[in-house]
Amino acid sequence: MAAGKKSGSRPDAARSATAGISGRADSRPASKVRVGLVGATGYTGMELARLLAAHPFMFLTRAVSRREEGRALADLHPFLRGTAAGELPVSALDPEELARACDLVFLAVPHGAAMSLAADLLRRGLRVLDLSADFRLRDKAVYERWYATEHTEPELSAEAVYGLPELHGAELVGARLTANPGCYPTGAILGLYPALKNGIAGNSPPIIDAKSGVSGAGREAKVGSLFSEVSDNFKAYGLGTHRHTPEIEQELSRIAGRPLTVSFSPHLLPVNRGILSTIYVDLKSPDIPLRDIRALYAEAYADRAFVRLLPEGALPDLRSVRGSMYCDIGLVKDERTGRLIIVTCIDNMCRGASGQAVACANLMCGLPPAAGLGLIPLVP
C-alpha cells in the first residue's frame, strides 16, 4: 500500500467509508446478510459464487438460472463441492421468492435484462447490485446509442451509485442500487484519477491501450473465444466502437470537472484472466518531476489497500494481481515527449467485476468494505 498523507481532494466521508479496507472492523454485524444471485452460470456469477462461499458475513440463499433449475450449484461449478453454497439448488427466477429469501440481490445478467428486473426487486424492498451496463450511464440517449437497446428505467440510472469504492465509498453506504463498473473502466479510471483530480493532465485526450484476458468476453460459446482462435495469438478489437468508451468518458469527465474524450484501444490476450492498461497522458507542465507526480498518487491512494502504487522503476504484471482485488499502478515519465505513462493491472473477473461487486455490497449493507476479499494473488 502506498504511503503518504491524507488527501483533501475528496470528502472525509468517502475516505472514512472505505478506511480499513484491509477487512478489519471495530465491530461485527449481529447477523449475516442473505444474498441472491441471478445469473449463476456465467463467469461473473461463477466468481461471485466463489467469493460468497467464503464470505464471513454474507451467505447465498438463492442462485437463479433459467436453464439449470433444480441442479445443485456444485453440479454447475464443481469447485464449490463441500461448501454450503455448493449444496444450494438452482432455482427459476421468482422476484417474490427473492424478496422473501434475500436482503440483497446480485444481477449477473446481460445488458438489457437487468433494468426491469432491478426495478421490480427495488419495489419489493431489496437492495440491488447490477453487474451489467444497464445503470452505469446516466444519459439515456447515450446508453441507447451505444447499446442499441431502449432504456426503460432512466430514473434508476440517475439514482444508481457508480460502484468504484475508492471514489464513491460514502455514496455506497446504504445505497439501494449500485451500478458495478466495467472491467476496462476500472483500470483506466483508477489509473487516471490522481492526474485528472490534481489538474496535472493537459487538454489532449488520454490514450488508453488496454489488453484483456478471454474471460472478459463471457462464457457464451463464440468462435472468437475458441482456444484455437485465441491461443498463440494477439489482436485488437472494437477500435473506436467499444461500449466501455462512454462509461470511461463519463466518469473521467466527472473527475476532471470538464467534458473529456479518450482514445480507447482494447486488445485480446491469450490468457484467461487479467487486464493490463497502458495509458498515455500529456502533462500540462512537462517540467513537473516524476517524484511530484508519484506524491500525488501516493496521497490519493494512501489508505486504499487494494490500490498498490509500485516503487519507482517497477511496472505491474498480470500474475501479481490474479484472483485478487488489487489494482497495481506503475508510473513512468517520458522526458522526451513530456508525457506521463501510467500502467495499471487488475484481475478482470475479481477486481473488474465480481470482487468489486462484493466490496460495493459490503458498503451497501454496512459491512467492513473488504470483508471476504482478503485474497492474495495466485502465482505462478
Catalytic positions are 183
* Integer Cα distance of 85 and 21 in angstroms: 25
Q: In this structure, are residues 47 and 115 in contact, taking their beta carbons and an 8 Å threshold?
A: no
Between β-strands 327-334 and 339-346, what pairing exists: parallel, antiparallel or unpaired? antiparallel
* Integer Cα distance of 244 and 193 in angstroms: 17
Residues in the chain: 380
| DSSP code string of 258-319 | S----EEEEEE-SSSS-EEEEEEEEBSSTT--HHHHHHHHHHHTTT-TTEEEPPTT----GG
C-alpha cell at 260: 473529456
Alpha carbon 380 to chain centroid distance? 24
Of 217, 208, 187, which Cα lies nearest the Cα of 345?
187
CA 18 vs CA 145, 159, 337, 370: distances in Å: 34, 21, 37, 9
Q: Which bin fits 122, alpha (ψ -120 to 50), beta or left (φ > 0)?
A: alpha
* Integer Cα distance of 11 and 18 in angstroms: 12
C-alpha cell at 6: 491524507
Maximum CA pair distance of the chain? 64
* Integer Cα distance of 125 and 129 in angstroms: 13
* Integer Cα distance of 271 and 212 in angstroms: 8
Of 309, 225, 326, which Cα lies nearest the Cα of 274?
326
Angle among Cα 316, 317, 322 to the nearest 5 degrees reads: 115
Residue 12, φ and ψ in degrees, nearest 5: -60, -35
